[in-house]
Amino acid sequence: MSRNSERAKLYQNPPVLILGIETSCDETGVALYDAAAGRLLGHVVHSQVEMHQAYGGVVPELASRDHVRRLVPLARGLLARTGREVAELGAIAYTQGPGLVGALLVGASFAHALAAALGVPAIGIHHLEGHLLSPLLSSRRPVFPFVALLVSGGHTQLMRVAGVGRYELLGETQDDAAGEAFDKTATLLGLGYPGGPALSKLAEHGHAGRHRLPRPMIASGDLEFSFSGLKTAVLLLVKGADPNEQFRADVARAFQDAIVEVLVAKCALAMERTGLTQLVVAGGVGANRPLRAALDARGKSQGFDVIYPEPELCTDNGAMIALAAALRLQAGLAVGNAHGFTVRPRWDLAAAG
C-alpha cells in the first residue's frame, strides 16, 4: 500500500485506542485514550524530580536512562489497570519535540518499535500542542477560539487558538521562560529543584511590598515578555544581604508578585486585543496559586473566563499527547512520521500546525 493510501485509510478509519507517550524532559507519562468515546481511560506519570534533586537540575543522560527503565512497566501496568490488551492499540502517539534530545529519542524509539510490531501508526506530537489542548480533557472545556497562556519551564507564550492545528503566536518571552525564572530565583534563595513550588511556598510567609522588583516589559504595549532582568534584580538584592528566613521569604514574595503581575497584565492585554472571552492556562507554572487567583480576579473584572487543565494534567503527561493525536486525526491534519522517525529538540509550534 502506498503512503498516501495508507494515510487516507488512517483518516477515514481513525484508530480508537491511542497510547500516549511523553518523555521530553523529566517525567515519564503514559496514557490510554479512547478516541471514539472521547474519553481518557487512564494515565500514569513517573516524576524523576527526586532523582535530579541531588544535582540541582535535570541531568539529561540520567533522564534518558530513567525513561528507558520506566516506559515498559508503566505501559504494561496501565494496560492491565484499564483491562486492555496491547493488541487493541490502534496508534501510538509520542512527544516528538521540543525537549531533551536523548529523552525524546527514548519515547520515539519505544513508540515506533511498538507501532511497527503491531502494524499501527506512530504519531509524533508537538509537546506544546499537548499542553494547549490539555484543558479539553477537563470537565470545564473551552470552546474554540480561545487564548492560551503557555507557562512552563521552557516556554512562555501567548497563543490564539482558532482550532486544532490553528495556532497563532501573539507574543513570547525574549529570554528566560517564567518557570525558568522561578527555578533560577529559587536557586538564588537556596531552594532545591524544581524551584517553582518551593519558592511559592516560601513566599507564603513573605510580606508584600518589603522589596520592590521591576515588572519587565509590563508597559511595552505588546505581548512580549522578558524575565532574565528579574532574576538579576533578585541576585543584586540577595548579594551581601543577611540571608535570614524572613528576608528570603520577603524576596520570594516580591519575585512572585512581580512575575504574576506581568503575566496577568499581558493576558489581560491579549484578551482585549483578540476580543476573545476564554483564556486557557497551560504548563507547570499554571499550578501557581497566586497566579490563578490574580488571573481569576482580572477575568471577573474584565469579562473573560479563565480555564485550567485538571491539576494533574498541568505538568507533563501522556494524556495530552494521546488527546492531541486523536484530535489531529479527527481534524484530518497531518500527523508526523508514520515511517521512520526523527525527534525535534527545537520546534516552533506555530510552524507545526
Question: What is the contact surface with Zn ion in residues (CB under 5 A)?
Answer: 152, 316
Rounded Cα distance between 14 and 210, Å, is: 57
Phi-psi label, residue 310: left if phi above 0, alpha if psi -120 to 50, beta otherwise: beta
Give the nearer residue to ligand KG4 in terms of CB position, either 102 or 154.
154
Least distance (Å) between residue 18 CB and ligand KG4: 21
DSSP 311-352: GGGTS--SHHHHHHHHHHHHTT---B-SSS----SS--GGGT
Least distance (Å) between residue 222 CB and Zn ion: 25
- Tell me the per-residue interface mask from 24 to 53 with ligand KG4, x by CB under 6 A, - otherwise: -x----------------------------
Give the nearer residue to ligand KG4 in terms of CB position, either 229 or 332.
229
Residue type, 261: E
Could you say whether residue 153 binds ligand KG4 (CB under 6 A)? yes
Give the nearer residue to ligand KG4 in terms of CB position, either 171 or 283.
283
Give which of 305, 306, 308, 298 is closest to 268, Cα–Cα. Answer: 298
Could you say whether residue 288 binds ligand KG4 (CB under 6 A)? yes
Q: Which of 28, 95, 315, 337 binds ligand KG4 (CB under 6 A)?
A: 315
Which residues, other chains included, contact 218 with Cβ-Cβ below 8 Å and sequence gap of 6+? Answer: 261, 262, 265, 266
What the block records as the C-alpha cell of 261 is: 503581575
Size of the site for ligand KG4 (CB under 6 A): 19
Among 85-93, 188-196, 233-241, 332-340, the segment contacting ligand KG4 (CB under 6 A):
188-196
Give the nearer residue to Zn ion in terms of CB position, either 66 or 316.
316
Could you say whether residue 154 binds ligand KG4 (CB under 6 A)? yes
Could you say whether residue 345 binds ligand KG4 (CB under 6 A)? no
Give which of 171, 159, 109 is closest to 131, Cα–Cα. Answer: 159
Could you say whether residue 182 binds ligand KG4 (CB under 6 A)? yes
Could you say whether residue 90 binds ligand KG4 (CB under 6 A)? no
Give the nearer residue to ligand KG4 in terms of CB position, either 115 or 178.
178
Burial (CB count within 10 angstroms: exposed 0-12, middle 13-18, buried 19+), residue 308: buried
Phi-psi label, residue 269: left if phi above 0, alpha if psi -120 to 50, beta otherwise: alpha
What the block records as the C-alpha cell of 69 is: 527503565
Measured over the CA atoms of residue 190, residue 191, residue 194 and residue 198, the dihedral's sign is negative
Q: Which of 14, 121, 130, 195 binds ligand KG4 (CB under 6 A)?
A: 195
Q: Which of 130, 165, 171, 196 binds ligand KG4 (CB under 6 A)?
A: 196
Could you say whether residue 285 binds ligand KG4 (CB under 6 A)? yes
Q: Residue 231, Cα to own-chain centre: how many angstroms?
A: 22
DSSP 306-317: EE---GGGTS--
Query: Which of ligand KG4, Zn ion, none binds 257 (CB below 5-8 Å, type-dependent)?
Result: none
> Which spans of this chain sit near ligand KG4 (rule: CB under 6 A)?
25, 152-154, 179, 182-183, 194-197, 200, 283-285, 287-288, 315-316
